[in-house]
Structure 1
Amino acid sequence: MGVNNSSSSKIKRIGLIISSLDVTKHELDFIESCSVEPLIDLKLLEIKKTGSKNFDIRKLSWGIINVFERIKFYFSSYSNHLRKYNLEKKVLLKEIVLYKISLSKCGELINHDFDSLISFDYRFDFQEIQKLIRADLIFFYKGLSFLPKNILIGFDEILNSKSSSTFSILKARKEDGNLEVLLEGSFVSSLYFLSNQANIFERRNYYLLQLLNGSMFTNDIPSQPNWLSINSLNNVLREPSLKDQLSYLKKIISSLFSLFHRFIIGKKISWKVFYSNDKWTDLDCNNHESLPNPRNGYLADPFILNHEGRNIVFVERFDFKDGKGKIAAYEIGNFSPKNLGIVIEEDFHLSYPYIFKNDNNIYLIPESSQNKDVRLYECESFPNKWKLKSIILHDVSAADSMILKSKGKWWLLTNLNPSNHSDHCSELFIFSSNDLLNGPWVPHVNNPIFLDPANARNGGIIVDEDIIYRVSQKQGYGVYGQNIQINKILELNDQNYAEEIMSKDHGINIRNTEQSHHLHTNSTYSVYDKWDLT
């Protein structure tokens, strides 16, 4: 993926197909975003769907299942996604032209010369619309690794307990009606269908807008599957089969029972930090010394720095009572770990204390997504006294940021959610600057570098002589921090980023990393964390 530097300033005429003036929040957000985009001229096309009124047992049973799931959904952060919003009541939208028209009269719009038509609802007769309005037709769909059995985006992955949920943005070309893949990616899966779909839809608008306004192109789209065509998609069921519905119902009942059981017996996930002086390339993450967890809290995200002969571990110290993390420091060596106390605390959550040296200065970048920024602290008296030196990025939801210096330039690797929400496991973004403290920080032309929770989220860094390894997290289904992966950075410059997964064949034999999501070393000691139910 990357920035399309050849895009022109030509205004694109876009027609958004809707079936009613009462739209979902996802549709409303997209319409409002387009209304302030200078290079997009959006028209709304209200075209009524034609559907069968025959009795369908699958539709009835799926509706009943959805009633129970919506009850839980109302208590989630996505509850407003169930609401409908009437466009005629939106003052911001008064200037957007609306065409109310039947499918049979779509041909009357042919003179409007749309560059593209867009639909978020696949249940339209796309072939008929495209026959009457000669324009490329763009729509959002599921992943393309296999022929789907139903049209519900975000359902199959929950049914099959997949850790990530895939999506695609497709274009039916006006010339021949053949499908073209514009973008394919994946986000970390939620445990329930409606929440999973809401997360996908919330992220969809950003990437679709990037494609429409020409600020992003894709250069790594996989080969198009042979089965992909409008006709093949038209044969897909609108609701899951009765067998799949029953399997899904069993799954959500089991999940709810498991959560309720953990609540009753008082079990909760707790992290613990371990350290070892074994060589990092041959590290067995079992039975090492650990830092003692605080009462009513835990330690996680360790980074270690050797300064003036002392090995200091900086960690997130999470307090269950406060409900937030603080940055704490511990000294380790051939003695029991020394608790040096809290070194950085704010009114908001802090974690992932990435620490590095530059000349004679020591800097620390904690994760501060709750405050919507990426911030840099400078050490005044090591290791306890720090001051806020710079806000690197403003108004962003970013986590687990790390800064490297390579070939005279500073590089920021961060897990940014461009929709400003809380999932930071799916995208890796890179920014660069010639000035660490003053910026500006320029986004990489290939952002997002990764759009896949299998390797996007940072989990530490290892610098071994001149070689830099990025540690990434691997997420499980319903499990945050299932494992880690070591990636050797092969190329990092203004045009490209490349890395290679390391294994035993590469001389790196790190073992027993299950339930870990972090690793760092200073060559003397390696530090990592693991979670457990306590």
Structure 2
Amino acid sequence: MRKLRMGIVLDSPLTNVYVASFFQWAARQDVLELVVAIRLPAPAAADARAPRRSIRAWAFECVMWSEQHLLKFYSAHRQHLSVVDLERGNVLGPAGLPMMTLQRDGGPDDAGWRQLTDLGIDILLNFSSAALPSALLALSRLGALGIGYHERPMLPTVCAGFWESYHRQARTQFSIRSADAAASGERLLLQGAFRTQFSFLLNQAHLYRKSLAQLERILLSVALSGALPPPRPALPETGPFATLPHAGQALVYLAKVAARLSGKAIGRALNIRQTWALQITISDWRKAKAENGIRISAPVGHFWADPFLLADSGRTYCFVEDYLYSTKRAHISVLELIEKKLVPIGVALQETFHLSFPFLFKYRGEIYMCPEASESRQIRVYKATAFPLQWELCSIAMRDISAADSMFFEHGGRWWLLTSLDRAGLKDHCSELCLFSASSPLDTTWTPHPANPLYVDACCGRNAGLILDKGKIFRAAQMQGFDQYGEAVGLYEIIRLDDTHYEEVKVTDLKRVRPSRALGSHHISTTGRVTVVDYLTRRFAP
């Protein structure tokens, strides 16, 4: 199979670690081939990384200095601001990659441009700080791809991720767009959003790394199909602007971060932790109300979350993630509903890795469980050998994948698997929702849906439960908040599902079923007679 021939466009050989990591990633892919790096100096006015030395610029440098020290505490992002010289070391590959310098006002008659024509470039990746001239786009069969943030589509911005953290916004957006010489403008290929982190550079590091993983996914798809994915309709941007803060805003931001850090430090010192508990209502999920619920907390040193209900032989069981603070891992425990109380009856499943989200389903008269086991890099299916406390591994649906909160269900004569992926290796499964199908839930080969990813959005990209009600399928989805995992649950009805289409509509936000003082919620389950949710609170947890 012919490889996808790529050219990389840069302002300078001095670039960031994300561009360098992209070179290294691309060199490992069998279907991709890097053929040239193009240095295209940006116009002075477009170089956002060299702001004028105004009071505003100096104030922002103070923010950068303080944030740089904060990043040292996050091993995954310590190199976020590092500068890499692509012409030194082994970044461009063991054989070296030609780097050409072009002038923006050049054209096909220049020697360098004629040399590019002979390379047969399929696609350009724009990592520069300005739009590419149409003459350069014309040399690429598929035009150019680039990642954009807010008001600068396809272009980087020095303060990407700042204003979302400043304003405590729940999501930080990005887009991936294509451009070519023939089109009048850019086409949107993907618009997504990740959960906003509590500080600017930490948020920016998450944004850059996770959006780059999405660009890599698209490139692999283009290499296999030979064409760009179809454009998507644009959605309103939620971010404020891509401008530097003025001096007063910079000082306010530093005060905000100091207050956030102080709150976290005081909580740790006093052993005040965010923890999860359960609320059960003897009611159909449509009629469940918080004021009628019974609150249930785990024993000291534990918390219970991700409740799944199953009625069997006249008894109602609740499987939960049972987290131990002492080990910082969880196993699956079982509770039984007895006279409006959930009574612990034992451990159902324990592994050497973390387990949560014990999704339960029935197939051919047997009971199965698919817990979240992303630490194992597998989607594992267990069969009950003596329900509810004895289980054995019977199938591995997928291997070598970082997936969380997987759900199986049957529809239209096929079995479907909804799961959330982490492509960036940051242990964050809150945004990308994907769909697969097979003839049986015990299959080990699953076909990806052509609509994948269904979402790249922290407001709906992670599962929170499945409700099958009178022939209708409702997917519960987690809604993430600012610096908070599990702020609320949204409910979506799947209204169209087949081998080529997936469509769902939002029905409601499930806030009335959790206590009013809860900090958040991220799961719901029902038998039709009993409904249970988990909710987030703060408490002393030794």
Relative to the length of structure 2, the TM-score reads 0.86
- Deviation for aligned residue 1:49: 5.1
Counterpart of 2:358 in structure 1 is 353
Q: Give the 3 Å change call, closer, same or farther, for CA 455–90 of structure 1 in structure 2.
A: same
Q: After superposition, what is the alpha-carbon deviation per residue over 1:54-92, rounded to whole angstroms, capped at 9, x for unaligned? A: 633333322221111111111113223333444432277
- Deviation for aligned residue 1:237: 6.8
Counterpart of 1:110 in structure 2 is 113
> Is residue 71 of structure 1 aligned with residue 69 of structure 2?
yes
Q: How many Å separate the matches in 2 of 1:248 and 1:258? A: 15
Q: How many Å separate the matches in 2 of 1:176 and 1:446? A: 24
Q: How many Å separate the matches in 2 of 1:144 and 1:53? A: 17
**Segment of structure 1 superposing worse, 276-285 or 133-142:** 133-142
> Is residue 198 of structure 1 aligned with residue 205 of structure 2?
yes
Q: How many Å separate the matches in 1 of 2:194 and 2:410? A: 29
Q: Give the 3 Å change call, closer, same or farther, for CA 133–378 of structure 1 in structure 2.
A: closer
Q: How many Å separate the matches in 2 of 1:466 and 1:237? A: 47
From 233, 247, 256, the counterpart of 1:221: 233
Matches within 5 A, 1:175-214: 175=182, 178-213=185-220, 214=222
Letter in structure 2 aligned against 1:79: R
Q: How many Å separate the matches in 2 of 1:164 and 1:70? A: 22
Secondary structure at the aligned position of 1:502 is classed as strand
Counterpart of 2:332 in structure 1 is 327
> Is residue 16 of structure 1 aligned with residue 8 of structure 2?
yes
Counterpart of 1:45 in structure 2 is 38
> Which sections of structure 1, spanning at least 5 residues, go unmatched?
1-8, 226-235
From 363, 382, 389, the counterpart of 1:384: 389
Letter in structure 1 aligned against 2:326: K
Counterpart of 1:3 in structure 2 is none
Counterpart of 2:471 in structure 1 is 466
Q: After superposition, what is the alpha-carbon deviation per residue over 1:465-524, rounded to whole angstroms, capped at 9, x for unaligned? A: 3111111111111222111111111112111111121249xxx99555762111101112
Residues 153, 167 of structure 1: 8 Å contact kept: no
Secondary structure at the aligned position of 2:79 is classed as helix
Secondary structure at the aligned position of 1:280 is classed as coil
Letter in structure 2 aligned against 1:56: S
Residues 478, 523 of structure 2: 8 Å contact kept: yes
Q: How many Å separate the matches in 1 of 2:267 and 2:194? A: 26
Q: How many Å separate the matches in 1 of 2:279 and 2:243? A: 50
Matches within 5 A, 1:400-439: 400-439=405-444
Counterpart of 2:47 in structure 1 is none
**Segment of structure 1 superposing worse, 468-477 or 197-206:** 197-206
Secondary structure at the aligned position of 2:391 is classed as strand
Residues 321, 330 of structure 2: 8 Å contact kept: yes
Counterpart of 2:487 in structure 1 is 482
Q: Give the 3 Å change call, closer, same or farther, for CA 204–150 of structure 1 in structure 2.
A: closer
From 161, 166, 174, the counterpart of 1:167: 174
Counterpart of 1:154 in structure 2 is 161
Residues 149, 237 of structure 1: 8 Å contact kept: no
Q: Give the 3 Å change call, closer, same or farther, for CA 91–270 of structure 1 in structure 2.
A: closer
Matches within 5 A, 1:489-508: 489-503=494-508
- Deviation for aligned residue 1:28: 1.9
Letter in structure 2 aligned against 1:97: L
- Deviation for aligned residue 1:333: 2.5
Counterpart of 1:526 in structure 2 is 531
Q: How many Å separate the matches in 2 of 1:97 and 1:108? A: 18
Counterpart of 2:99 in structure 1 is 99
Q: Give the 3 Å change call, closer, same or farther, for CA 336–510 of structure 1 in structure 2.
A: closer
Counterpart of 1:5 in structure 2 is none
Counterpart of 1:270 in structure 2 is 275
Letter in structure 2 aligned against 1:25: V
Q: Percent identity?
A: 26
Residues 479, 487 of structure 2: 8 Å contact kept: yes
> Is residue 142 of structure 1 aligned with residue 142 of structure 2?
no
> Is residue 31 of structure 1 aligned with residue 23 of structure 2?
yes
Letter in structure 2 aligned against 1:155: F
- Deviation for aligned residue 1:238: 6.3
**Segment of structure 1 superposing worse, 80-89 or 291-300:** 80-89
> Is residue 60 of structure 1 aligned with residue 61 of structure 2?
no
- Deviation for aligned residue 1:103: 3.3
Q: After superposition, what is the alpha-carbon deviation per residue over 1:158-200, rounded to whole angstroms, capped at 9, x for unaligned? A: 1221111111123343247733333221111111121211112
Q: Give the 3 Å change call, closer, same or farther, for CA 204–54 of structure 1 in structure 2.
A: closer
Q: How many Å separate the matches in 2 of 1:239 and 1:37? A: 41
Q: How many Å separate the matches in 2 of 1:432 and 1:27? A: 35
- Deviation for aligned residue 1:452: 1.2
Secondary structure at the aligned position of 1:495 is classed as coil
Letter in structure 2 aligned against 1:26: Y
Residues 110, 133 of structure 1: 8 Å contact kept: no
Following TM superposition, where does structure 1 have runs of at least 4 consecutive aligned residues deviating by more than 4 angstroms?
9-12, 47-54, 104-107, 129-135, 148-151, 508-514
Letter in structure 2 aligned against 1:80: Q
Q: How many Å separate the matches in 2 of 1:342 and 1:524? A: 25
Q: Give the 3 Å change call, closer, same or farther, for CA 142–381 of structure 1 in structure 2.
A: same
Q: Give the 3 Å change call, closer, same or farther, for CA 108–60 of structure 1 in structure 2.
A: farther
Secondary structure at the aligned position of 2:98 is classed as strand
Residues 283, 509 of structure 1: 8 Å contact kept: no
- Deviation for aligned residue 1:427: 1.3
From 287, 296, 300, the counterpart of 1:291: 296
**Segment of structure 1 superposing worse, 20-29 or 352-361:** 20-29
Residues 189, 232 of structure 2: 8 Å contact kept: no
Q: After superposition, what is the alpha-carbon deviation per residue over 1:225-248, rounded to whole angstroms, capped at 9, x for unaligned? A: 9xxxxxxxxxx9764333442332
Secondary structure at the aligned position of 2:36 is classed as strand
> Is residue 82 of structure 1 aligned with residue 74 of structure 2?
no
Q: Give the 3 Å change call, closer, same or farther, for CA 271–132 of structure 1 in structure 2.
A: closer
Letter in structure 2 aligned against 1:99: M
Counterpart of 1:232 in structure 2 is none
Residues 24, 91 of structure 2: 8 Å contact kept: no
Letter in structure 2 aligned against 1:499: E
Q: How many Å separate the matches in 2 of 1:157 and 1:26? A: 21
From 372, 375, 386, the counterpart of 1:370: 375
Letter in structure 1 aligned against 2:467: I
Residues 35, 98 of structure 2: 8 Å contact kept: no
Residues 141, 153 of structure 1: 8 Å contact kept: no
Letter in structure 2 aligned against 1:200: L
Q: What is the Cα-based RMSD across aligned positions, in Å?
A: 2.9
Secondary structure at the aligned position of 1:281 is classed as coil
Q: Give the 3 Å change call, closer, same or farther, for CA 449–10 of structure 1 in structure 2.
A: same
- Deviation for aligned residue 1:463: 1.2
- Deviation for aligned residue 1:10: 5.8
Q: How many Å separate the matches in 2 of 1:277 and 1:321? A: 33
- Deviation for aligned residue 1:274: 1.8
Residues 281, 510 of structure 1: 8 Å contact kept: no
Q: How many Å separate the matches in 2 of 1:254 and 1:459? A: 31
